[in-house]
Homo-oligomer: A and B are copies of this chain.
């Protein structure tokens, strides 16, 4: 008998997805969507970002959103925090966790955060000092952990070194991010195995993008290596400025659909997630990459076409 393995999903659409949207999404709509997500069974929801309203105007309503949502007792509500000012704002909203971000490649950190990695680390170390002792958990998302769009491969020891520096500062979790969809399965397997080996006390999360179609394949490789925590984005929202037109973050409903079929317990109710994802196009004003929204679940059967009796055919769909 197979043992059902419990996985833990973190929904990032309202932060990693919405930060990219050109049109402002009404605060009430954000709150309504997050409340719907709170009922879906996620382990964690990345609600918003306490960055400067000038830097990310799409998320300028972070306080209002955090105060407006109804919190579900089983869910960890996390927010992105770039600096001490952001941490103070987040703490005043009683978040469960703060998520810090920096890149493990120098060029991407400069392009994304306009700082050197050392400057970022110093800034995030101040955040950690500000948050330590408050009872709020700290996670660090390491961008470009599986490749940098400017530098190419990032050596695994570089990734492990940055993990070590944050582990020494006492963070509870690290997320390895495939920021621009450069990860491939054998690389993921090796990185995850080495990270788990070296940091068995850290909560390790994998964050995939489907930029080159490999997000679900990479998920299988991470599962092989014993990973149980994954970020995902409703509808596949989110993306990367270096791949215009390409799909974004791994799509929550595609991930849950596959994991459920493969016998995992994701905690997440797929039907409820699909209902939430179906709201997105109206909310953001454009289509989303999600395939499952278009094709339905594998178990959504179709009637025999009416035309079968009338029309001859040798279409031979294989």
Contacts and interface: CB of A to CB of B under 8 A. Distances in A.
Interface of A: 12, 16, 19, 49, 51-52, 55-56, 80, 82, 101, 107, 110-114, 141, 143, 147, 149-152, 175, 177, 179, 181-182, 184-187, 207, 210-217, 219-221, 231, 240-247, 251, 254, 257-258, 261-263, 291-292, 294-299, 301-305, 308, 311-318
Contact of A308 (B55, B110, B179, B186): B110
Nearest to A186: B262
B52 A314 contact: yes
A177 B318 contact: yes
A114 to B, nearest CB: 5
Contacts of A114: 308, 311-313
A243 B295 contact: yes
Contacts of A207: 318
Consensus secondary structure, chain A interface = loop
A187 to B, nearest CB: 7
Given A110-B304, A113-B314, A318-B141, A185 B294 contact: no
Contacts of A49: 316
A225 to B, nearest CB: 13
CB-CB nearest 6 A-B residue pairs: A243-B295, A184-B261, A55-B314, A246-B295, A216-B217, A213-B254
A294 B245 contact: yes
A245 B296 CA distance: 11
A304 B107 contact: yes
Given A301-B150, A314-B113, A318-B16, A247 B291 contact: yes
A236 to B, nearest CB: 9
A273 to B, nearest CB: 14
Contact of A214 (B112, B216, B247, B313): B216
A216 to B, nearest CB: 4
B150 A262 contact: no
Contacts of A56: 314-316
Among A143, A214, A251, which residue has the most Cβ atoms of chain B within 10 A?
A214
Contact of A316 (B19, B214, B219, B220): B19
A2 B52 CA distance: 49
B316 A150 contact: no
A296 B258 CA distance: 26
B262 A298 contact: no
B314 A212 contact: no
Contact of A213 (B187, B231, B292, B303): B292
Nearest to A262: B186
A197 to B, nearest CB: 20
A175 B318 CA distance: 9
A316 B51 contact: yes
A298 B148 CA distance: 9
A147 to B, nearest CB: 6
A125 to B, nearest CB: 17
